[in-house]
Amino acid sequence: MKRRGKQGAGFKAEFFEKVADAAQLAALFDLLPDVSFFIKDRQGRFVALNRLACEFCGVQSEHEALGKTDWELFPQSRVPEYLADDRAVLESGEPLTNRLEPTPEREGSPELLVTNKVPLRDSAGNVVGVAGISRKVSQVRYAPGAVQRLARVLEHLHGHCAEPLASRDLARLAGLSESQFERTFRKTFGASPRQYLIRIRIEKACRLLRETDLTLAAVAVECGFYDHAHLSRAFAAQMGESPSGYRNRRQVRRG
């Protein structure tokens, strides 16, 4: 069996040596409208993107994003989290699977992504970049396995994020025991159900702070936080600034 495996690996390597340009394979991702595909070098510069990745970056074509970094293309509050994941892959040389991230196209979006990233190596085995794919959580329900099983839970969290949500009730939606649910959710999305819920609430708070004149206390209630102080703590931990600071910054930009 081991010999056959080595022969198979050699056959694979021999074939790929004949492929003149890896871009031929990358082009396939343009045919998957619900998948964002990208490649970055060690400096975090975009080397390749498919159509959905261009949409996330806010550009019309791949050419506009090539050579640019996350700092030049995404909302600033998003970038540190994205770069931390890239750095983890570059430094460890290990894939990052099913990472839960906010969508990059705008702050306050209620949608989240499930992202997978893998290291890219040169002929000497050195990690020279990162390749990744992302799908919106609302689309992941069509995938097989644990994510599909949790689809009803995700829908419920998004639709009732301001309500008190007990882990045992969410587990019941998934048809799992509470311990199985917590373990499966964390393994699938890289976050606990509570962390996922807080992120949804913060995204909703961003939208309300940006688009309405509600008081911070009212925003807290609308998003499921106990009070203004609870919102402020969670918001600062997630966004790196206070709710009022975020609102003031956005208002200045609009002005």
Token pair, residue 217, equals 């206390």
Spatial distance between the Cα atoms of 206 and 25, rounded to a whole number of angstroms: 38
Helix%, strand%, coil% for the chain, nearest 5: 55, 15, 30
Q: State yes or no: pLDDT of 230 exceeds 60.
A: yes
Identify whether the C-beta of residue 90 lies closer than 8 Å to the C-beta of residue 127: yes
Q: Which CATH architecture has domain 141-190?
A: Orthogonal Bundle (1.10)
**pLDDT digit string, tens, across residues 27-39:** 788 888 888 999 9
Instruction: State the chain's mean pLDDT as an integer.
Output: 82
Superfamily for domain range 197-255: Homeodomain-like (1.10.10.60)
**pLDDT digit string, tens, across residues 84-99:** 889 889 999 999 887 7
Q: Would the CATH topology of 141-190 be identical to that of 197-255?
A: yes
pLDDT for the residue numbered 168: 92
Token pair, residue 228, equals 């203004």
* C-alpha to C-alpha distances, 156 to 153, 166, 170, 193, nearest whole angstrom: 5, 12, 8, 12
Higher pLDDT, 138 or 32: 32
Q: What is the CATH number of domain 2-139?
A: 3.30.450.20
Spatial distance between the Cα atoms of 74 and 82, rounded to a whole number of angstroms: 10
Residue 174, phi then psi, degrees to nearest 5: -85, -10
pLDDT for the residue numbered 156: 86
Query: Domain ranges in the chain?
Result: 2-139, 141-190, 197-255
* C-alpha to C-alpha distances, 200 to 25, 190, 235, nearest whole angstrom: 35, 15, 11
* Paired residues of 39 in beta bridges: 48, 131
> Taking the C-alpha atoms of 208, 210, 216 and 222 in order, what is their torsion angle to the nearest 10 degrees?
0
